[in-house]
Each structure stands twice: as structure tokens, then as C-alpha cells.
Amino acid sequence: MDTQKLEQQLNDGNLAVRLMASSKLGALIKEGQLVRTASEEVNNHVHTTYSFSPYEPSAAAYAAWKAGLGIVGSIDHDSIGAAEEMLIASRNIGLASTVGFELRVSFLDTPLADRKLNNPDSKGIVYMCVHGVPKHQISAVTEFLRPVQLVRNERNKAQVEALQALVGRYGFDLDFERDVLPLSRFAQGGSVTERHILYAMANQCIDMFGKGEKLVGFLQKSLGLSLPNKVQSWLLDEHNPHYAYDLLGVFKSTFLPRFFIQPGRDECLDVRKVVDFSNSIGAIAAYAYLGDVAESVTGDKKAEQFEDSFLPELMDLLVDIKFPAITYMPPRNTKEQMLRLQALAKERGLMEISGVDINSSRQSMNCPQLLDPTARHLIDSAWALVAHEKLSSEQPELGLFHPLNPLAGKSLDQRLAFYASLGRRMDSRNPYAIIETFNKELS
């Protein structure tokens, strides 16, 4: 069987083709014809084509398997459209999975309304994740997010018009319906983001100038852009497989601040409404900690202050709003920041969740920082998250934070340890059978 062809089919435009490919690759894995070097690493925050990413959900699951991960989690902006395919493809491949979504919410009616929290673009607007959505609640999430997607698209149209006003004189002809919307999975429940707009611009630029010297000359002479040496070498390479993504990155840093329109309250729902919804469906809402950036650990953030100067106040507010968890990305923070955050979370009984957002073809699925002693407990949390999602999909009161959970009287650490143990022993090809293990252990 042609493995390379099957891998290509994982990113096919047809869902049936993708799932067929994941099934065939899964059979090869099960038979031992495809092998990998497994690690302890996990990633709960992989974007798919349902927001912006080079990966269809099936391709994301397989890429995570190839990278040696034990768990893959799909997270998309304003969308849970990837969830069902991610769950099926991961089962086919034999990889543990979890699903959720990410969105911007309003803190404008909280005491921190005038602060820049974790959003570089907006004060009083916060990125948060909802992890571990039970399978039977996926349709409820789709309904909840649809109005947000529609409002966002009205802003997207206005942003495309603003961008076109900036670049039209250089030969660009950008139209939301014709050029941007087809790049998305909007018709299947996906969202449209600013990256889609910039990707459409990158595609038009390549169409106008081709790849290589002529395009680089246009960027430098006509647009007056200063390209870092590394980026310039990428764009001079006509065979660069990441070309459009690299060009998108150039346009993002240059043009996004000039056409970005601030989202309103109709798009950024009140944080309490979103957390209440998440809790009502048995999911786990998590505030996404960013932390002050002095010298960016990953090199993609400018020096800027975010939550660190008022972190205890923020954490108390999260508890008041009834967030059960926080999430953060070990590669983006210093050890000092993580240790402080961990101590504050432990004091307040907040679960810690990790994940490194993947939305570009240049990014690695791996996160070796998780293997550091300061972060290794996040691997256990990920396995507990998986167990929570599978168990609550079968029996809602088995959710980690459900008041009727048989283990509700135990401490959070005890519950997490028990659920992590269940998750690690789960059969990834038959994940919902975990409930039998739970009942046996409990009895």
C-alpha cells in the first residue's frame, strides 16, 4: 500500500477520503507495518482547517502520531467543526484525543476591564479555551458558536475592504466572498480569521509576481518592507514548501495592525456567559495565561506587559467567575513565570492544562519543554482531561468537576491522579470503554 499517497489523502478536501486514509493508515500501524518513536509528549491545542491551519483534522491526528505524541487535541477559533473527524481519525490511528474550542470573550464588565490581559490587540478582551467537550455536547457548542461566526464575518468583510483600500494601488483585488471565504471551512461549521484574509493576500501576491526574486523585490521596493535575512532567504527559495505561510507571516506583522477592526460585545461574549455555558455542558473552561514578555522565549512576541503585575487579582477573579482551569504554553514562558502561576493555581484549586497552538506548516507538533520537571505534571493533566472527556461522554456526572461525581469529596490532585491513571490505560481504539475500567476501580 502506498503510504505516501494515504498521507496526502489525509488532507483531501473530501471528508470520506480523509477518514478512509486514516483507517488504512491505522490498520498499517496496528499490524506493525508503520512504526514510530513514542514520547511522553502531548499537545491539546492543535488548530485545523476549521479555523486556520495546514492540517485537516485527520492530518493533524496522524502528524501528532508521527511526532510521537500520546495525545492530540483539536482547538479552533470560534469553531468545534473539527471535533467529530478528530475523534474518529484518532480512534482509527490509535491515538488518544480530546476536543474543544477557543474564543475571545469580554472582561469589560469585570474589575479588569481597562487592563491588557492576554490579548495583544485589545484591552478587556481575553482569549480562553474550552477543553474536554463531551461527545454528545458537540452539536450544542456548534449552535452556541454560530452567531459569533456570523458577526465575525461582518467584521471580516469590513477588514478585507480596509486592507484592499491600503493595497489596491499595488495591483491587489481582494474580495471577501470570492477570495477569503473559499479558503475556510465556514460552510461546514468552521470560522474565518484574519489569517485567512492574509493568506488570500499572499496567494494573490504569488499569482502576480511568482515566487522568488521578483516577489521579494516587490516587497522591498514597492511596499518598502524590511525583511529579516532568514525570511528573505525563505522567499527567495522558489521550492520552499511553506512559501505562502511565510509570506502570510510577513503580511501579518506589517498590515494586520493597519486593517484590524476591534471586535464588539456581540462577537466577544461576556466571559461569565461563556464559562456558565461550558460548565453546563460538562466541559472545562480555561483562561489562557500569556505572561509578560521581556525577551520572547519563542522570538515571535515583542516586549510587552500582560498579566504578571496583577496576577493574584486576576486568578481570584477567575475563581469568582467559576473557571475550573488555566492553560498555558511552556515554550512561551520562563520557568519563574510558570512556577509562580502554578503556585497561584494550586492555592485556588485550578486545574492546569498545557498546549502549544499549531497553525503553521513550519511548526513542530512536539513540546519537549513538557519533559522538564517544572512542567511534567501537565502530561498527567492531559491524560486526566482525556479521561474526563470520554467518561463524561458516557455518563455526565463522571466529569472531573461535576458535583455528583463519585470522587467529588476527593481533592483535585487526587481526582486528577486517578483520572490520569485511567487515561493512560485506556484503549485509544475503543476509548469509551474506559467507563468499564472506572466502574471496576470504583467498586
Whether residue 221 is predicted with pLDDT greater than 70 in this model: the reply is yes
Instruction: Enter the C-alpha cell of residue 237.
Output: 527559495
Q: Are strands 351-354 and 325-328 parallel, antiparallel or unpaired?
A: parallel
DSSP H stretches of helix in 31-82 = 57-66
pLDDT of residue 299: 43
User: Mean of the per-residue pLDDT values for the chain?
Assistant: 95
Write out pLDDT tens, residues 275-300: 999 999 999 999 999 999 886 444 44
Instruction: Provide φ and ψ at 279, rounded to 5°.
Output: -65, -35
Residue 331: closest CA among 361, 302, 354: 354
Q: Are strands 325-328 and 43-46 parallel, antiparallel or unpaired?
A: unpaired
pLDDT of residue 83: 98
- Mean predicted confidence (pLDDT) in 389-405: 97
**In whole angstroms, what is the distance from residue 362 CA to residue 54 CA?**
10
Residue 105, beta-bridge partner list: 126
**In whole angstroms, what is the distance from residue 63 CA to residue 421 CA?**
25
Whether residue 73 is predicted with pLDDT greater than 60 in this model: the reply is yes
- Mean predicted confidence (pLDDT) in 109-130: 94
**In whole angstroms, what is the distance from residue 438 CA to residue 372 CA?**
30
**In whole angstroms, what is the distance from residue 96 CA to residue 90 CA?**
6
Instruction: Enter the C-alpha cell of residue 433.
Output: 470503554
Instruction: Enter the C-alpha cell of residue 273.
Output: 456567559
- 157: number of Cβ within 10 Å: 17
- Mean predicted confidence (pLDDT) in 424-435: 97
- Mean predicted confidence (pLDDT) in 388-400: 98
Give the list of residues 6+ apart from residue 207 with CB closer than 8 angstroms, or none. Answer: none
- Mean predicted confidence (pLDDT) in 166-187: 97
- Mean predicted confidence (pLDDT) in 391-415: 97
pLDDT of residue 304: 87
Annotate 168-188 with DSSP letters as a single string.
GGGT----IIIIIGGGS-GGG
In which region does residue 40 sit, left (phi positive, over 0), alpha (psi from -120 to 50) or beta (all else)? alpha
Is there a contact between 411 and 400 (Cβ–Cβ < 8 Å)?
no
pLDDT of residue 296: 41
**In whole angstroms, what is the distance from residue 232 CA to residue 306 CA?**
31
pLDDT-based confidence at 1, cuts 50/70/90?
low
Nearest 10 degrees: Cα torsion 216, 217, 219, 221: 160
Sheet holding 325-328, edge to edge: 43-46, 71-77, 96-106, 125-131, 284-288, 325-328, 351-354
- Mean predicted confidence (pLDDT) in 233-244: 97
Write out pLDDT tens, residues 242-266: 999 999 999 999 999 999 999 999 9
**End-to-end Cα, the chain, rounded Å:** 46
Is there a contact between 102 and 63 (Cβ–Cβ < 8 Å)?
no
Residue type, 38: A
Write out pLDDT tens, residues 372-386: 999 999 999 999 999
pTM summary value: 0.94
Whether residue 177 is predicted with pLDDT greater than 80 in this model: the reply is yes
Annotate 274-286 with DSSP letters as a single string.
HHHHHHHTT-EEE
pLDDT-based confidence at 302, cuts 50/70/90?
low
pLDDT of residue 121: 87
Whether residue 45 is predicted with pLDDT greater than 90 in this model: the reply is yes
300-306 long-range contacts, CB within 8 A, separation 24+: 301/120, 301/332, 304/116, 304/120, 305/116, 306/116, 306/117, 306/118
pLDDT-based confidence at 301, cuts 50/70/90?
low
